[in-house]
Every structure is written in structure tokens, then in C-alpha cells.
Amino acid sequence: PFSALDKSLRGQMQAEMKRLHQETGTTFVFVTHDQSEALALSSRVAIFNHGKLLQVGAPDEVYDRPDNRFVAEFLGEINMLPLKGVKPAGNGSTGLCEDRAVSMGCKAELVRGDAILAIRPEYMSISGEAADGENGIAATATNSTYLGAATRLDLTTRQGAKVTVSVPNEVAAAALSKGNSVWLTWPAEKGFLLPHGGQ
């Protein structure tokens, strides 16, 4: 409903809707095709595909821990990296990504062996090299897009996976001024597992 408004006014209207919802304590049903608008306004989000309810929950829960690949891809950009040898480890799990051991904060209850490691672009960082014990893979920047408050970098890993990261402009400029080879890192708790090849 707010899609025809300019960005600033749209943000103000979303804040007003949220305020009214909290003040009145009534249930609002707000139908939108804008995923960020749905996440911004909701206390609960439901994701449907072909009439089937796939997941319902708090916006941050559904965004950060989608139940399947459709939900992960539906709610914004997602990086999907192949994993091998996934197995439980302590309170999380481990596996091999680009032939490097990585840790995930989620348990490998339903996924073992080959899987997909999914990470949102904003949870990945760029550094010179990975510290010992830190999740990280080497990649080459192929494109950069200035977005105002941040820069979107498109990268390709050594094994050919396509990755997108959203980083502060000065980080992107520094990484690209040293050449296109970078090291991608991410916190273990921000990666989640999806079945290999499944939905």
C-alpha cells in the first residue's frame, strides 16, 4: 500500500502504522509484497508458497532462521555455500566450506553430510586474512555497487560460488584498492544449514 510513496514518507508511514498498532493493541492484517515492509511492520510473519504455509514466527526469527530454502530466498538476498562433512559439534555443527573447516551455531539435527551453508550478505565481513579458528574463505571481487550508506560487493570464491556482501563504503574501497582478492569472514551464529539441493 505504501509503494507509491517516496522512501522518506514511506518510512514515516510505516513508523506511524507500527505506533498505532502498539497503542491500540488490536490485530492488524497488512498485506504487502515488499518483504522489508512486512518485516518492519510485523510482530509475526507468515510465508506461503502455492497456498501452503511454510513458516510463521517473529520477523527476526523467520529472517535469521528460515526453515527452508524458499523462505531463505524469499526474504531478501542470501549467500549459499556448499558444505561437506556436516556433523554435530558441541552446541553447533562443523563442516568443510571451500576445503576449510567452518563452524555453525545451529545443530546438524536434520542435515548431515553434504549441505548448504546460508548466510545473509550483511553478516559477512571482509578482512585481509582469517584468524585461527575464524570462519573464512577466499574470494575475488567481481563487481561493486555504491548504495549510499554501504557498498554491495559481488564476489566469486575459489571454487566458483557466487557471494554478495554489504559492507561500509570505506571497507569496500580499502579492499578494492589492495586488489580484488579478499577474505570473507562471518560469525558462526549467523550461518544456518539447509539441505543440499532441497527446498
Position 123 scores a pLDDT of 93
Confirm if 44 and 38 have CB atoms less than 8 A apart: no
How far lies 105's CA from each of 11, 17, 89, 192, in Å?
Answer: 33, 35, 9, 7
Which residue from 186, 182, 199 is spatially nearest to 79, judged by alpha carbons?
186
Position 163 scores a pLDDT of 95
Confirm if 93 and 109 have CB atoms less than 8 A apart: no
Position 96 scores a pLDDT of 87
Position 177 scores a pLDDT of 65
How far lies 55's CA from each of 7, 58, 59, in Å?
Answer: 29, 10, 11
Confirm if 143 and 164 have CB atoms less than 8 A apart: no
Q: Which is higher by pLDDT, 111 or 121?
A: 121
CATH class of 79-199: mainly beta
The chain-wide mean pLDDT, for the chain, equals: 86
Position 173 scores a pLDDT of 79
Query: 101-131: string of b/e by CB count within 10 Å (b at 16+)?
Result: ebbbebebeebeeebbbbbbbebbbbeeebe
Q: Which is higher by pLDDT, 133 or 35?
A: 35
Position 175 scores a pLDDT of 73
Query: Picking from 44-53, 55-64, 112-121, 151-160, which range would have the lowest pLDDT averaged per residue?
Result: 112-121
| Nearest 10 degrees: Cα torsion 103, 106, 111, 112 | 40
Q: Which is higher by pLDDT, 29 or 78?
A: 78
Position 31 scores a pLDDT of 79
pLDDT band at 128 (very low <50, low <70, confident <90, very high): confident
Residue 37 has pLDDT above 60, yes or no: yes
Radius of gyration of the chain (CA): 19
Residues 6+ away with beta carbon under 8 Å from 144: 151, 152, 153, 154, 172, 176
Residue 149 has pLDDT above 70, yes or no: yes
Position 157 scores a pLDDT of 93
Report pTM.
0.82
Position 110 scores a pLDDT of 60
DSSP for residue 131? P
